[in-house]
Amino acid sequence: MSDKIKNKTVTMTSPITVLAGVGEKRAELFANLGVFTVSDLLRYFPRAYQNRGDIKTLCEAALSGETSSMILTVGCEPKSVTVKRGMNLTKFTAFDESGKCQITFFNQPYVKQLFHEGEIYRFYGKVMRSKNLWTMASPDFEPTVIARSLPDFYAVYSLTAGLSQKIIRNTVSLALASVVIDDEPIPEYIRRENSLISFAEAVNIIHNPQNLKRLDDARRYFVFEELFAFALKITKDAKEREGIPGIPLNISDADKRDFVKALPFTLTEAQARVIREIYADMSSGRAMSRLVSGDVGSGKTVCAAASLYLAAKTGHQGALMAPTEILAVQHFHDLSELFKNLEVKCTLLVGSMKRSDKIKALSEIASGESDIVIGTHALLSENVKFADLVLAVTDEQHRFGVNQRDALASKGKNMHVLVMSATPIPRTLAMSMYGDLDHSAVDMLPPGRQKVSTFLVDEGYRERLNGFVYKQALEGHQVYIVCPSIEGSAYDIRDDETDTSGLVDFFGNKIEISSSRLKNAVEYAEKLSAKFPDINVGCLHGKLPASEKEAVMADFVSGKINVLVSTTVIEVGVNVPNATLMVIENAERFGLSQLHQLRGRVGRGKDKSWCILVGDNIGEHSKKRLDSFCATTDGYRIAEADLAIRGPGDFLSSSGRDLRQHGALEFRMADLCDDMDLLYRAFDAARHELEKEK
Ligand code: ADP
Ligand code: MG
């Protein structure tokens, strides 16, 4: 392509091929990263930054073991040698006041001409010890020039084969230098009110931050931009919904009493309050859109049951959708039992049912013979036709996307919608995550619950831990063991391109990496099984076909399997009261809220239960998090701690990720834990903006 064409105006919407040096080939590589236009490129944000401004001495760098920045003087003229198979090595020494280091470049013979004795460079690399010598292999380097300061921060991008950091950095720089930015997604008055810099400034800084303060300004801009778009959508949706009528449903006090009498327990105050809130919604003539959140075991199911009962007793239908077959079947059994004397008919519909059973269920649903339908996402299938559906309940909403929730709701007209989430969410956060829903909290556990004793141990306890697992199994109890990975030797050490040592995140915090080997479920189960041949060890993970997963889980529920080694697939609502021990391997890899979910699988029966977290060689920050988890069993406090104690490293292995998994939100920049303040501001701004439109 000729330079003339390349010289035309570069706008945000131009394809990146307008940039010099970006031909079709390279554009294809960028396409792998989702980058097609100049705007895509400028919004391809760094995943981290090298902090080259943090200068260490050779000695400090060697001790830290991390990729570091050093100012060194070249100690001799470089020597180049060719060793076997044509490999070229260029070697020289460099020093500072703390010592001397041998620097080697591989297959870069041109560096021989670059370095000369006495010159001073800033090197960026990892200092290793080899015999009695400090060494450094192929470090990055920049000549120091008097009166010109080197930038402190270098962007680090996620790569794809064929595109190096350097190529991406250069292409971004070129785009920044040539683009004419004329759009500004956030209105001026909103930026002023919230002290936000402009888009043009922000995009320059995010790729080339001069310092952490500026970087924070840029991050703040993009977080706000993202949250503002989200808030606009939520606020609009909520407005639209307000006007939607719902069928008003009312039952007699006698019917209400019958329901309460049929329960095998007395409702907690929290449950009674939530049920009142639900009834108020459903009788109001407005369509209900309500989230019920509550700690694991707080008894949310009965709240769902009450709403389903209301739909059934008024002559309509209600549906309950659960994320797994196990859970759907469990609900079906419990609800059938509860409703058997209340003249309410329950029908089960799950994918694995026999064809003839399925046909029978479908006809019951379509004819209106069934009052309450319980199932998995099989309920969403097109051939499921309801006679008169007025209520859609989703259990464990965080396992579904918003779209699935809406898909169930679209099976009827002006439906009442109830969603249940087991992650205790602080009210403020719930408001924003599910801003389009009203919120009820079952914020109290039924009486007589046992506390699950929780401990953090390291590898030193391995034998004792195995013995404990064995003992629980021999005593007739069941054990869950959760591993972070499925199979293979998953080390958390990454290859060179993605090595995070010495990198900082958007906040300037050092990114913590754990070098401990990740436990994998498959190998773990094999080893445990070989060690204790007289107990039955099962293995469950996401790669198994659905039918096999269900079979393993069913064997665990029935007690056939004593010890279940799994990935986090067991996280969801399963009730096995006989399980008394939960072991979580590489516990530092999990968010607090996720750990809390896992712990909630035990302590459901009358027997004393334990949760053992195994974390070896974990950083100080992780230890603090896990210790705080051991100290409390209150899910709301944990969720709040999750918000409060974030720090180094969490940017990547973020507890915020759990919250994001709710499917309601998928943010690139914003982290609800850190950015709560901005979230509120974004909602305020969205309200103003929408009022202005009127
Ligand atoms: P979750 O909120 O985790 O979905 P469930 O609804 O599954 O909780 O309830 C957990 C267990 O507590 C069930 O066995 C249920 O029967 C029992 N339960 C619920 N409410 C009460 C109550 N008020 N008193 C005693 N037990 C209760
Ligand atoms: Mg539940």
For each successive 10 residues of the chain (694 residues), what is the average pLDDT?
Answer: 58 90 90 91 88 89 89 93 85 94 90 91 91 90 81 85 88 92 90 95 92 89 89 79 86 95 95 97 92 86 97 97 87 94 95 93 97 95 94 80 72 88 63 69 84 92 94 95 71 37 62 60 92 94 81 90 87 78 91 82 88 88 86 75 43 30 50 70 87 77
**pLDDT at site 657:** 34
Taking the C-alpha atoms of residue 477 and residue 607, their distance in angstroms, rounded to an integer, is 9
CA 301 / ligand 1 centre spacing (Å): 7
Atom 11 of ligand 1, residue of closest alpha carbon: 297
**pLDDT at site 496:** 31
Q: Is 605 in the pocket of ligand 1 (CB under 6 A)?
A: no
CB of 545 closer than 8 Å to CB of 455: no
Structure tokens at 226: 């993202």
Q: Is 293 in the pocket of ligand 1 (CB under 6 A)?
A: no
Other C-beta atoms lying within 10 Å of the C-beta of residue 173: 13
pTM value > 0.75: no
Pick from 324, 321, 403: nearest CA to 666: 403
Helix residue spans in 417-461 (DSSP H): 427-433
**pLDDT at site 165:** 87
CA 297 / ligand 1 centre spacing (Å): 5
**pLDDT at site 614:** 94
Among 265, 271, 333, 596, the mutation site with the greatest number of ligand 1 atoms within 8 A of its Cβ is: 265
CA 225 / ligand 2 centre spacing (Å): 35
Other C-beta atoms lying within 10 Å of the C-beta of residue 292: 29
Sheet holding 453-457, edge to edge: 453-457, 610-614, 579-584, 478-482, 563-566, 537-540
Structure tokens at 321: 């959708």
The beta-carbon contacts of 250-259 under 8 Å, at least 24 apart in sequence, are 250/283, 250/314, 251/310, 251/313, 251/314, 255/313, 258/342, 259/306, 259/309, 259/342
Structure tokens at 246: 């719902």
Pick from 292, 219, 235: nearest CA to 680: 235
CB of 510 closer than 8 Å to CB of 571: no
Q: Is 298 in the pocket of ligand 1 (CB under 6 A)?
A: yes
**pLDDT at site 504:** 64
Query: Rg for the chain (alpha carbons), in Å?
Result: 30
Q: Is 212 helix (H, G, I), strand (E, B) or coil?
A: helix
**pLDDT at site 508:** 63
CB of 58 closer than 8 Å to CB of 72: yes
Angle subtended at Cα 284 by Cα 282 and Cα 287, rounded to the nearest 5 degrees: 60
Q: Is 274 in the pocket of ligand 1 (CB under 6 A)?
A: no
Q: Is 176 helix (H, G, I), strand (E, B) or coil?
A: helix
Q: Is 292 in the pocket of ligand 1 (CB under 6 A)?
A: no
In SS3 terms, 5-43 reads as HHCCCEECCCEHHHCCCCCHHHHHHHHHCCCCEHHHHHC
Taking the C-alpha atoms of residue 617 and residue 492, their distance in angstroms, rounded to an integer, is 13
CB of 456 closer than 8 Å to CB of 630: yes
**Distances, alpha carbon 359 to alpha carbons 348, 362, 377, 385, 389, in Å:** 11, 5, 17, 12, 19
CB of 336 closer than 8 Å to CB of 346: yes
Q: Is 366 exposed, middle or buried (0-12, 13-18, 19+ CB in 10 A)?
A: middle
**Distances, alpha carbon 295 to alpha carbons 24, 320, 328, 413, 635, in Å:** 54, 19, 19, 31, 6
CA 445 / ligand 2 centre spacing (Å): 13
Taking the C-alpha atoms of residue 559 and residue 136, their distance in angstroms, rounded to an integer, is 57
CB of 602 closer than 8 Å to CB of 610: yes
Atom 20 of ligand 1, residue of closest alpha carbon: 299
Taking the C-alpha atoms of residue 218 and residue 200, their distance in angstroms, rounded to an integer, is 10
**pLDDT at site 603:** 87
Ligand 1 atom nearest 294 alpha carbon = 2
